[in-house]
Amino acid sequence: MKKSTLIIDKHFIVGEIDHRIYGSFIEHLGRAVYEGIYQPESPFADEQGMRKDVVELIRKLNVPIVRYPGGNFVSGYHWEDGVGPKNERPEKLDLAWSVIETNQFGLNEFMDWTKKANTSAMMAVNLGTRGIEDAKNIVEYCNIQGGSYYSDMRKKHGYEQPHDIKLWCLGNEMDGHWQMGHKTAVEYGRLAAEAGRIMKMVDPSIELVACGSSALDMPTFGSWEDTVLSECYDQVDYLSLHQYYGNRDNNTPEFLANTVAMDRFIQSVISICDAVKAKKRKNKTIQLSFDEWNVWYHSNNQDKKLERWCKVPHQLEDVYNFEDALLVAGMMITMLRHADRVKVACLAQLVNVIAPIMTSDTGAWMQTIFYPFELISNHGRGTVLNTIVKAPVYESKQGDAPYLDSVCVVNEEEETLTIFAVNKDLEDSMELTCDLRQFKDYQVKEHIVLTHSDLKAVNTEENPNNVVPVKGDNAKIEGGILQAILCDKSFHMIKLGK
C-alpha cells in the first residue's frame, strides 16, 4: 500500500475561498436552455416554463453564479432579440453552432430563472460582431433604475427594478479563429479597454472579465495575455482561463495527470498578470476567472453528424463516466489550491450540454461529475490552507504526476477542517496521514467516498444511481494524527470537527 502525508499549519493559508469559484455556465447551445432549464410544454415546468426538477438539482449544487448567454453564441447575439413580447421575437441563424435560435428565452427570463435557482448572473457582452455602444446599452438596460431609454425599455417589459448584474465578461474567446469577429490581441485589448471604460461610466460598481487565451495550447498563449492586459489593465478586474480535457487515447493515468497541466496553466497566467502589473507599476492585482472548465470529448464524433439549421439539437451531450468524475474532482482541488488568485470559475456547462445534469421528457438525473462538484461546493467554503502533499508519483507526459491530489479547507465559523482527496492509483489503496494536533479535540465527523470498480461506469435515466457517493469508515484520529485509507481510484471528502 502506498503511503502519503498531508502537511498543514492553520496559520499558513493560501487565501479565502471566493464562493464564485463554484459557478457554472448556461449557453444558448444544444439543449442547455431549451429542454434543459426551460421547457414550457413539460409536465415538470412551472408557470414560466422553467423546469422545477432541474432547479431542484441545481440548488443541490449550491451554484452562486452562472455565466450567460455564452460562450461562442454571444459573439453574434443581439440581446434585444430576446426581450419584450415573445410573439415579436425573431428567429435567427446562430452561426456559432449552426442552429436556429428562437429567442423565446432571453435576458429577463434568465434573470427570473436565477432567482428560482438561488444563483446570480455573470453576463457576457458581444464584442465579436458588436461593440462599445451595445455593451453600454445592455448595462443601462440591466442596471439603471429608470429615466433613460434602455432602463425605461426594461420597465416596459415588466421589470420595474434593475437586475443589478455585477459581473460582466468582455466577449468570449476572442483569440479563436472559430469566433465570430475574432481579433488580434491589440485589437481586442483596445476594444476591451474602451468597452469596459464606457460600461463602468454607466455603472461604476460592476466588475469586468477580459478574455485570456481560449486554451493553453493556443499558439498565441502568453503573448495574448500580455498584450491584452497591457491595453486594458486599468479597466478590468479579472482575466479568463478556459480549458477542457479528454481521454481520447483511453489512457486513464495520463488523463488524470491533467491536473498537473492545469496547475501549470494557472501558475503561468498568474505570472503574466503580475509581470504586466510590474511593467505598468500598478497597485491593482488582476485576479483569475476560470470561466470554462470541464471534461469534453465524448460527444465530438456525434456532433459532426448534426444537421445544420435545426432547432434544439442534442449537441455536446457527453455521457460522463466514473474516471471523468475523478478528474473533475482533481480540477476543483487544483483551483482551490490557487484560491488566492482564482476567484471565479464556471463548470461548463450546467444542464444537458457537457453537464452534470441531464434531462428527458420524463425526468432529470445526475451524471457522475455531479457528485464531486456537489460535495466540494457545499463543503469547500472557508479558507484554503497551504497543503503540502507528500505522495508517490508516476511518470506522465506532464512530468511527474502525484498519485494524490488533495487540499484542506478550514471553516472557522463552523469550526471544521475538510480534506478533499483523489487517489489516482488504479489498483492499490493509499494510506493517508496528517498531523492535526493544532486542531485540538477534532474528530472525523463525516467521510464520503465516490468510487466504482469500473472506470467507464455511467449514470443513466434507467440507472441513475450506478455511480454515487457512499459513507466511508476508513478515517480516524488517534493522538491528534489523522489516519485514513483511500481505496484505489477514489475521491474522498473527510470533514473533521469538534
Positions marked catalytic: 173, 292
Q: What spatial distance separates the first Cα and last Cα of the chain, rounded to whole Å?
A: 30
Vertex 205 angle, CA 203 and 208, to 5°: 90
**Residue tagged 484520529 (cell numbers):** 477
Q: What are phi and psi of 380, to 5 degrees?
A: -100, 55
3-state SS of the chain is CEEEEEECCCCCEEEECCHHHHEEECCCCCCCCECCCECCCCCCECCCCEEHHHHHHHHHHCCCEEEECCCHHHHHCCHHHHCCCHHHCCCEEECCCCEEECCCCCHHHHHHHHHHCCCEEEEEECCCCCCHHHHHHHHHHHHCCCCCHHHHHHHHCCCCCCCCCCEEEECCCCCCCCCCCCCCHHHHHHHHHHHHHHHHHHCCCCEEEECCCCCCCCCCCCHHHHHHHHHHCCCCCEEEEEEEECCCCCCHHHHHCHHHHHHHHHHHHHHHHHHHHHHHCCCCCCEEEEEEEEECCCCHHHHCCCCCCECCCCCCCCCCEHHHHHHHHHHHHHHHCCCCCEEEEEECCCECCCCCEEEECCEEEECCCHHHHHHHHHHCCCEEECCEEECCEEEECCEEEECEEEEEEEECCCCEEEEEEEECCCCCCEEEEEECCCCCCCEEEEEEEEECCCCCCECCCCCCCCCCCEECCCEEEECCEEEEEECCCEEEEEEEEC
Vertex 55 angle, CA 151 and 408, to 5°: 100
Distance in angstroms (rounded) separating the CA atoms of residues 133 and 198: 8
- Selection from 96, 6, 115 nearest residue 50 by Cα: 115
